[in-house]
Amino acid sequence: MEKILDRFLRYVAVDTQSNEESESQPSETKELNLLRMLRDELQAMGVEATLDEWGYVMASIPSNIDRKVPAVGFIAHVDTSPDASGANIKPQIIPDYDGSDIPLKGVPGLLLKTSEFPELLAHKGETLVTTDGTTLLGADDKAGVAEIMDTVQYIMAHPEFKHGPVKIGFTPDEEIGRGVVKFDVARFGADYGYTMDGGDVGELEFENFNAASASVHIQGSNVHPGYAKGKMRNALHIAQEFDALLPVSQRPEYTQDYEGFFHLISLKGTVEEAQFSYIIRDHDRAKFEQKKQVIVQCADFINARYGAGTATVTVKDQYYNMREQVEPHYHVVEKAVKAMEMAGVKPRIQPIRGGTDGANLSFRGLPCPNIFAGGLNFHGKFEWVSLQSMEKAAAVIRNLISLYASGGSA
């Protein structure tokens, strides 16, 4: 029986960083290295598992009870964020954490400080896994992967454990918004699902942002600066002007809870032309639609000021708030609350200030709340996870399986 920590450390050693510039699926072939490992490990445990052409691992454990109960699925993504390196990860293991600042030894002087990350103090006495400061850790979402695989190992080693049909799914490219674009919900075969992709212990989420991307192109006009008066239109300055039209108070660094935002994520260009991108987020659908319209109105203002065709905006919806799809099946949330309580965890229902594969799955007929995986400070060098939180997450999965097995028919 492999311990969950050892399993997690094996998985984070595999570089699976996805690539938003790629048009292929998976976006990087290196993601398949871990996906193949997972398929092979599932098969070695006696579980029917496949890896399809799009990089989806799907596995199924048949029911061992003699009545019809819902099939419940558990899903996690293998890719890590493009925001920080996912290669050559060197985890630090801190047993019996004492509540002090943690040196990240790969970068002299860099500390994981309790003054900046006070949630560390809630995990005194636990075993923490951090980065060494040179990469991200990969707890998002290899903690979830390890928790699901730990549960599969438990089920296969304990035939006396009663369960209905259990479905397992591992996906690529979640971090770039394409995690379940080609995921075959019907073939997966679950009636209800849970993504193990949340943060700190106790988190339970069934509502998320509505999300869109906006790509803006500014066409300037470059002439020799010595003779530019009345002729030059500097695309970089116009891009700055465009950004200044958006409300400063609706940037991510000034928002929380249910407040949405405009987030400038890239900017490149020259005097002649500039290209920049935003992500647009809001939990409220009407406010979300209004934010998209504001971006378009900014382009209209720029074009009225500098001439038609100066600013071109392309807005694309990415995903929507799953609440409207999950609430009609609210028992999936209630079961998760009960499963946490059975594991000695206090549930904290809160909105996701982001998105998960579960949002898109919910809109495709698989109600799919999100459960904590135990990690914090995702996507960067300060990422860390508690071993005890991972163990509790695995216990929550087992409890959910038991609750569905003891319930009524699908």
Considering the domain architecture, whether residues 43 and 185 belong to the same structural domain is answered as yes
Nearest to 105 by CA among 95, 90, 127, 88: 90
| 81 within some domain | yes
Considering the domain architecture, whether residues 363 and 384 belong to the same structural domain is answered as yes
Residue 44 CA to residue 327 CA, distance in Å, equals 38
Residue 228 CA to residue 220 CA, distance in Å, equals 12
Q: What DSSP letter does each residue of 63-108 carry, written as one string?
A: --SSS----EEEEEE--B-TTS--SS---EEETT--SS-EE-TTST
Q: Are the C-beta atoms of residues 386 and 104 closer than 8 Å to each other?
A: no
Q: Are the C-beta atoms of residues 242 and 216 closer than 8 Å to each other?
A: yes
Considering the domain architecture, whether residues 132 and 86 belong to the same structural domain is answered as yes
Residues 6+ apart with CB under 8 A from 104: 92, 110, 111, 112, 130, 131, 132, 133, 381, 382
Helix boundaries (H) for 98-232: 139-157, 185-188
**24: its two tokens:** 């292929």
| Domain count for the chain | 2
Asked if 96 is an active-site residue, the reply is no
Considering the domain architecture, whether residues 99 and 54 belong to the same structural domain is answered as yes
Identified catalytic residue from 28, 31, 41, 79: 79
| 382 within some domain | yes
Among residues 249, 283, 318, the one where a domain terminates is: 318
Considering the domain architecture, whether residues 139 and 252 belong to the same structural domain is answered as no
Considering the domain architecture, whether residues 244 and 367 belong to the same structural domain is answered as no
pLDDT tens sequence for the chain (410 residues): 899 999 999 999 999 999 989 999 999 999 999 999 999 999 999 999 999 999 999 999 999 999 999 999 999 999 999 999 999 999 999 999 999 999 999 999 999 999 999 999 999 999 999 999 999 999 999 999 999 999 999 999 999 999 999 999 999 999 998 899 999 999 999 999 999 999 999 999 999 999 999 999 999 999 999 999 999 999 999 999 999 999 999 999 999 999 999 999 999 999 999 999 999 999 999 999 999 999 999 999 999 999 999 999 999 998 899 999 999 999 999 999 999 999 999 999 999 888 778 988 999 999 999 999 999 999 999 999 999 999 999 999 999 999 999 984 34
Considering the domain architecture, whether residues 341 and 266 belong to the same structural domain is answered as no
Helix boundaries (H) for 135-184: 139-157
pLDDT of residue 341: 98
User: Which H or E element spans position 269?
Assistant: strand 261-269
| 378 within some domain | yes
pLDDT of residue 269: 97
Among residues 293, 318, 343, the one where a domain terminates is: 318
Considering the domain architecture, whether residues 240 and 370 belong to the same structural domain is answered as no
Considering the domain architecture, whether residues 311 and 167 belong to the same structural domain is answered as no
Considering the domain architecture, whether residues 305 and 350 belong to the same structural domain is answered as no
pLDDT of residue 408: 46
Q: In this structure, what CATH number is given to the domain that contains residue 393?
A: 3.40.630.10
pLDDT of residue 24: 96
| 410 within some domain | no
State which residues form the domain around 250.
210-318
Q: In this structure, what CATH number is given to the domain that contains residue 238?
A: 3.30.70.360
Name the region of 193 (left: φ>0; alpha: ψ -120 to 50; beta: rest).
beta
**386: its two tokens:** 């508690």
Identified catalytic residue from 41, 147, 174, 207: 174
Other residues' Cβ atoms within 10 Å of the Cβ of residue 88 = 11
| 153 within some domain | yes
Q: Are the C-beta atoms of residues 164 and 38 closer than 8 Å to each other?
A: no
Considering the domain architecture, whether residues 366 and 398 belong to the same structural domain is answered as yes
| 43 within some domain | yes
The DSSP code for 17 is B
Considering the domain architecture, whether residues 202 and 214 belong to the same structural domain is answered as no
Residue 74 CA to residue 113 CA, distance in Å, equals 34
Asked if 334 is an active-site residue, the reply is no
Among residues 318, 333, 365, the one where a domain terminates is: 318
| 136 within some domain | yes
CA distance readout (Å), 379 to 85, 136, 262, 265, 294 = 9, 6, 19, 14, 29
| 342 within some domain | yes
